[in-house]
Structure 1
Amino acid sequence: MRWRRPSGLLVLALVLAGLLGLLATLQWQWLGQISASERGRMHHTLRRQANEFAEDFDREITRAYFWLQMDHVWLQVDRLAAQTTPAKPFEGWFRTSPYPGLIKTIYQVTRAETGDLRLARYNRQDATFVSLDAWPRELEVLQARLAAEKMTRPLGVDVRGRKPRIGLGHVAPSIPAIVIPRPPIEFRRESRAGEPIGFELTIAVLDMDYIRRELLPTLAERHFTTDVATRPDSAAPAPGNRFEYRVAVIDRRTETLIYCSAEDSAQCRFEEPDYAEDMLEIRVRDFNRFVVDDRLRPPLPPGEASAYKLSLMRRRAADHGAKPRPRADGPWEVALKHQSGSLEIAVAQARQRNLVVSFGVLLLLATSIGLVLISTGRARSLAARQVEFVAGVSHELRTPLAVIRSAAENLADGVVAEAGQVRRYGTLIASEGRRLTQMVEQVMEFAGIATGRRQLDLRPIDVQGVIDDALAACQPLAREQGCTIDVDLPSALPTVVADAEALSRSVQNLLSNAIKYSGSGAWVGLTAEVGNHGRSEVRVNVTDRGPGIFAEDLPHIFEPFYRGRSVQNGQVHGSGLGLSLVARIMEQHRGKVTVRSEPHSATTFTLHVPAA
C-alpha cells in the first residue's frame, strides 16, 4: 500500500491540538498556584480581621479599666483635681468613651475595720456612692470569693477550670464585670511622687444587652462586612448577606453563644471554625496605645503636657533559663466560618469556577479552530465542486453546440436536401437549443436566488396549471428517452401561494432528473395530494424506478454542485444545480422538499407547498 503524505490542513490541526493540550496543562498548574496564593491571602486577611475585631473590643475593656481607676492621679488626668470625691473620674469615662453603654453599673467594695465587706453603688445623677445593705444576685459569686480571700491578694479568674492570677485586675466572665483593685498600678509624676491611698475595689458590670445589640454588631460591621460590588474574586457572599464570614462570639466557660452575625443562630454553632481569636481581656501592655492618647482624653490647657506614663516592670526569675509564662486564654472568643461552609470550600469553589471559565475559553478556542478547519475543508470541497461544475457545464454546452453546428453546416452546404431530412435536422437543432436554454436558465435562476436578486412573485395559483406547464416542458425529453410519465392527480386541488414560474421549474427539474437518471424506456410517476402536517399543504410527488440514491449521498444531494457516486459512475451528464435550486425555491415558499430512496429501488421526491 502506497504511503500518502498527510495534507497541510491535517498537520496544522494536529499542531493546534497539541498546543491546546499544552495550554490546558499550564492553565491547570497556574490555577493551582493561584488557588494556593488566594488561600494564603484569605487566611492572612481573616487573622488580621479577627485580631483587629478582638483588639477593638479589648481596647474598650482596657480603656474602661484604666479610666475607672480610684486613684487621685486619674482625678488630675480628668481635670477634676480640685474636687475631693473619688467618683468623679467615672464621669470622665462616660463623657469621652465612644461606647458609654458598655458599663451598666459601677460598685465599690471596701472592708471595714471589723473585716466586714461593704458595697456601694455609683449614682451618676449626683456623682456619689450609695451604700447597699444587701449584695445583688449578680455579685453573689464574687462576694463569696472576696469573703474567703484577703483583699490585698489578687483575685483569680475561672477559665475552663484554670485559675490564673492576674495581679493588675481582671475580668470576671461569670458576671461579667471588670474587677479593679486599688491601687493596681503605681503611677509616678515627673515632678512629685504619688501619695499612698488606702485599698478599695471597683467593680464595673458590663451591659450584656448593649454588647449584643450595639457594640458587637458595630465592630462586626466595621471588620467583616464585604462590599460585593468591589470584590475581584468570586467568593463573595450571596446577595442579601453583607458578611463574607459567619461571626460568632462565644463564652468559653459556658459555651454560650453571645453574638451571631446570621439571622439564624444555629448557623453560628460550628465545631471547627476557620479561625478563632481570644477576647474580653485587659491588655495592660497596650496601655500607652489604648489609654495614653490625646485623642481619647479630655483636652489639656494650652502649654500643659501629659505628665503620666505607665512603666511595666518584670520580675527577674530565679532560674534565668526558665521559659516565660504563656499567656492565658481569654474568657470569650470570636470564631469565624466562611459562608460557603469553610474557607477551604470557598477556595475550592473559586478554583472550580476559574477552571470552568478557563477551560470554557479553551473549549471555545478549540471549537473555533475546529469550525475554521471545517469551513476550510468545505471551502476546498466547494472549490473542487465548482471546478467540476465548470467542466460539466462546458461539456454540456459543447455537446449540443457541436450538434447544432454540424447540422447547420450540413444544411448550409446542401448535404441535406430532402424535406424529411431537413425537418429532422430542424427538430434536432430545436431540441439541442432547448437543452441549452434550459441549462442557461437554470444557472441564471440559481445565481439569482443565491445572490438575492431573484425575488419571487407569491400569489394564489392553481397547482394543476403549474403541473401541466412542467409536463409540457418535459415531454420532448421524455419522448427522446422513451420514458412513460404516469400522472395521477385529484379532481380538485386547493390553491397555493407560490410563484408559478419558480414552482413549475421545481417540478420540471424533478421530472427531468427522474427521466434522465431512469434510463431509456423507464417509468416516472407524478401524483399530488392534500396533506395536513401541522398546516394545510399540497404535496407533489415525483417517483422513478431508477438505480436509487446511496445512503451516504442522501445528506448532500441538495448541496450546490454535488453529484452522487452512482451518477458519476454512470456518466450521466448534469450540472449538480437542479436539486439545490429546488430546495432553495421551496425555502422561499416556506415549504420544503423531501426524498425517500434506497439503492436499486424506487426514489420519490416530494414538494411540500403551503396551501392558500
Structure 2
Amino acid sequence: MKGLRQRWLDWSFVALMTILCAILSVLQYNWTGEVSKAESTRLRAGLNERLQRLVRDFDSELNEDCAELTPTAREIDQKGRESAHGDRFRQWVLRENREALFTRIAVAVPAGADLELQVLDKQSARLQRIDWPAEWSDLQENLRRRYFDRERRPRRVTHTASALIELPVFGDPDGFRGPPLELEWTILELNLDFIRNQRLPELIRTHLNTVGEAFDVKVEIAADPDSIVFTSRQDAARRWTVSDGRAELFSLRRGGGRHRGRPGPSDTEPSRWMISALHRAGSLEAVVSKARVRNLAVSFILLSLILIAGSALVRYTRRARRLAELQLSFVAGISHELRTPLTVIRGAGHNLANRVVRDDKQIDRYGQLIVQHADHLSEIIDQLLTFASTRAARTPAVREPVSIRETIERALDAASMEVQSSCCVVEVDVATGLPPVIGDPAALRRAFQNLISNAAKHGTEGKWIKISANLLMDKGKSLIEVRVADHGPGIPEAELPHVFDPFYRGERARSDQIRGTGLGLSLLKEITETHLGSVSVKSQEGKGSEFIVRLPAARHEEYDEFAHSAG
C-alpha cells in the first residue's frame, strides 16, 4: 500500500510538471507573439525614421545647390544675366564634390514668341545659345504655356524629365493681388549616374545599412512606379510588391525669387521620386518571425529540459529509494545469515568450554558443526569480497584456460551442503570435447556455485536440478553454453527484470525466509560479463526456471599461447 501511494505521488509530480510546462509554453507562445508585434512596429518605425533622415539629407543639399545656382531678378538687373549666372556658378563650384552633380546648367529666356535656351559653359562660366534638345521638348512646351498662356498645370514627369529642374526667376506681380510673374528659368539637369553610383549609395550606407542590418533600396518615379531610377541590387529591383518602408524623395522649394507676402505658387512642389526599402531577409516581418521561431525553440528546449530533469529526478529518486530498500533488505538478510552460524558456533563452543559434552562422539559432532558453520561464514565473506572486487574490475584478475567440466564439478562440490539439504536430484550433462574458456577459474567456479545454490534453495519443491553444457555457434563465434534448470515455483514476470540487481530478493524469498544475501545472481552476472559473456533467465510460475550462461570459447591460438607459456 505504501509503495502504491508513493508511486501515485511520483506520477502526480510528473503530471503536475507536465501541466505547468504546458501552461508555460502557451504563455510563452502568446508573449512572444506580443513581443514580435511590438518589435515589428519598432523596427518599421525605426526604418521610416531613417528613411526620413536620408530624404532630408538628400533634399536639403539639393535645394541648397538649386538656391545657390539661381540668381534673383535684382541680381540679373544689376549685373546682367550672364554675369549673374556666372558669379553664382563660380561660387557654387568651389564647394567640394559639387560639379559632378549636374551635367548641364541652362537658362530659358523669353525671346519674342518663343523661349530661347542658353547653356552655361562650365569652363568659361559664360552663356551660349543652343537649340532645345529633343529630350527637353516636354519641358519647353510646359514653360511656353506658363509664360505666354499663364497656365499653372504641372508638367508630366517622365524618366528623363525627372532629372530636369526648372527654377523660376520671379518678377513683379501681375496686378495688385496677382501672383508674381515668372521672368525666366534656371534649368539644372541632374547627373543620374552620379546620383546612382555615389550620392545615393553613400546615404544608404550612412542611414540604412548599419552593422547587422541590410536593406535593398529602390528609387522610382512617383508618377510612374514602373520607371526605376535606382536600385541597390539589380536582381532585387522588381522582386517586391510591398516594402518595409517608403518615403517621398526629391522635393524642391521653388519660391526663391518672388516678393514676400505676395500670392503665388507653392514654395514646395510635389516629390518627384519615391524611395522604398525592403530587408534582405525578405521583410521585417520575416526577420521578426525568425526571431520568434528562434525564441520559441529556445523556450521549448528549456521547458523540455525542465520536464526531463523533473522526470529524471523522479526516476532517480525512485531508484535511490528502491536501492535503499534493497540495502536494508540486504542488511537484514546478511545479519540473519551471519547470526545463525555465529549462534551455532557460540553455543557449541560454550558447551565444549563448560564441559557440558564429555562423550568423544559428541565432541567430534560439535567440532564438525563448528567447522561447517565457520565454512559457511567464510563463504559469505568470500562472496562479499568477490562482489566488491568484481564490480571494480573490467577484466578477470587471472587469465588461463579453464575447463568447463572441471569448473562445474568444483561448483557442485562447493554447493553440496545446499544441494543435500534441499534433497534435490542433480543431473549433469556436459558435452565431451568442449574447448576451454580463458578466464579466472576461481571466479567462474564461484559463479556456477551461486547458480547451483540458488537452484537448490528455490527448487526444493521440484527436487530436481539439471546442469548441461554444450558448444554452439553464434554469428561465427564459438560459445560455451551452460544451462541450470529446476522445477521450482518459478519467478513472477514482474520480478524477472530485477533478478540480477544487487541486493534484490524476490517477494517469495523474503516471505518464506529463504536464506540468502541477494548478491548471488548479481555476482553471477558481473563475473560473466567480466569474461565477455552473457547471462539470461527463462521462467514460468509453477513450472520452474532456467538460467543460461554463455561464455566465449578459447580460440586455438589463445590455447596454444597459454600452453607454450606454461611449457
Distance 1:576 1:223, change over 3 A: same
| Native 8 Å contact 2:252 2:269 kept in 1 | no
Alignment of 1:245-324 (within 5 A): 245-252=215-222, 253-262=224-233, 264-265=235-236, 268-282=238-252, 315=263
2:165 partner amino acid: V
Distance (Å, rounded) in 2 between the aligned partners of 1:184 and 1:198: 5
| Native 8 Å contact 1:518 1:544 kept in 2 | yes
Structure 1 or 2: larger helix share? 2
Mean Cα displacement is larger for which, 519-528 or 5-14?
Answer: 5-14
Q: What is aligned with 1:553?
A: 495
Q: Please tell me whether residue 461 in structure 1 is matched to residue 439 in structure 2.
A: no
Alignment of 1:332-481 (within 5 A): 332-408=273-349, 413=355, 415=357, 417=359, 419=361, 426-450=367-391, 452=392, 456-457=396-397, 459-464=399-404, 466-481=407-422
- Aligned with 1:527: secondary structure? strand
**1:59-103 alpha-carbon deviations (Å, 9 max, x no partner):** 33323322221348899xxxx99x936234334434425565332
1:256 partner amino acid: S
Task: Note the C-alpha offset of 1:351.
Answer: 2.6
State TM-score, norm by structure 2.
Answer: 0.79
Distance (Å, rounded) in 2 between the aligned partners of 1:128 and 1:172: 30
1:605 partner amino acid: I
1:257 partner amino acid: I
Alignment of 1:489-504 (within 5 A): 489=431, 491-493=433-435, 495-496=437-438, 498-504=439-445
Q: Please tell me whether residue 506 in structure 1 is matched to residue 437 in structure 2.
A: no
**1:349-368 alpha-carbon deviations (Å, 9 max, x no partner):** 32332233224323322332
Could you tell me which runs of 5 or more consecutive residues in structure 1 were left unpaired when the two chains were aligned. Answer: 160-170, 187-195, 229-241, 288-308, 318-324
Could you tell me which runs of 5 or more consecutive residues in structure 2 were left unpaired when the two chains were aligned. Answer: 173-179, 559-567
**1:567-612 alpha-carbon deviations (Å, 9 max, x no partner):** 3344422211222233334454454433333334442232445856
Task: Note the C-alpha offset of 1:13.
Answer: 6.5
Percent identical pairs in the alignment equals 31
Distance 1:211 1:111, change over 3 A: same
Task: Note the C-alpha offset of 1:344.
Answer: 3.2
Distance (Å, rounded) in 2 between the aligned partners of 1:220 and 1:255: 22
| Native 8 Å contact 1:103 1:205 kept in 2 | yes
Task: Note the C-alpha offset of 1:48.
Answer: 0.7
Task: Note the C-alpha offset of 1:41.
Answer: 1.6
Q: Please tell me whether residue 136 in structure 1 is matched to residue 133 in structure 2.
A: yes
Q: What is aligned with 1:583?
A: 525
CA RMSD after TM alignment? 4.2
| Native 8 Å contact 1:53 1:220 kept in 2 | yes
Distance 1:198 1:355, change over 3 A: closer
Q: What is aligned with 1:605?
A: 548
Task: Note the C-alpha offset of 1:49.
Answer: 1.6
Q: Please tell me whether residue 562 in structure 1 is matched to residue 497 in structure 2.
A: no
Task: Note the C-alpha offset of 1:433.
Answer: 2.7
Q: What is aligned with 1:56?
A: 57
1:136 partner amino acid: P
Matched positions, count: 537
Distance (Å, rounded) in 2 between the aligned partners of 1:200 and 1:345: 52
Q: Please tell me whether residue 224 in structure 1 is matched to residue 225 in structure 2.
A: no
Distance (Å, rounded) in 2 between the aligned partners of 1:126 and 1:328: 32
Q: What is aligned with 2:118?
A: 120
Distance (Å, rounded) in 1 between the aligned partners of 2:488 and 2:98: 99
- Aligned with 1:125: secondary structure? coil
Task: Note the C-alpha offset of 1:45.
Answer: 0.7
- Aligned with 2:85: secondary structure? coil
1:86 partner amino acid: H
Task: Note the C-alpha offset of 1:46.
Answer: 1.6
Distance 1:256 1:512, change over 3 A: farther
Q: What is aligned with 1:215?
A: 199
Which one of the candidate residues 542, 549, 558 is aligned to 2:484?
542
Task: Note the C-alpha offset of 1:416.
Answer: 7.6
| Native 8 Å contact 2:537 2:547 kept in 1 | yes
Distance (Å, rounded) in 2 between the aligned partners of 1:328 and 1:501: 107
Distance 1:530 1:9, change over 3 A: closer
Distance (Å, rounded) in 2 between the aligned partners of 1:534 and 1:355: 51
Q: Please tell me whether residue 111 in structure 1 is matched to residue 110 in structure 2.
A: yes
Distance 1:466 1:329, change over 3 A: farther
| Native 8 Å contact 1:596 1:604 kept in 2 | yes
Q: What is aligned with 2:176?
A: none
Alignment of 1:2-17 (within 5 A): none
Distance (Å, rounded) in 2 between the aligned partners of 1:569 and 1:557: 16
Distance (Å, rounded) in 2 between the aligned partners of 1:157 and 1:104: 24
| Native 8 Å contact 1:528 1:539 kept in 2 | yes
2:217 partner amino acid: V
Distance (Å, rounded) in 2 between the aligned partners of 1:476 and 1:63: 116
| Native 8 Å contact 2:437 2:551 kept in 1 | no
| Native 8 Å contact 2:162 2:272 kept in 1 | no
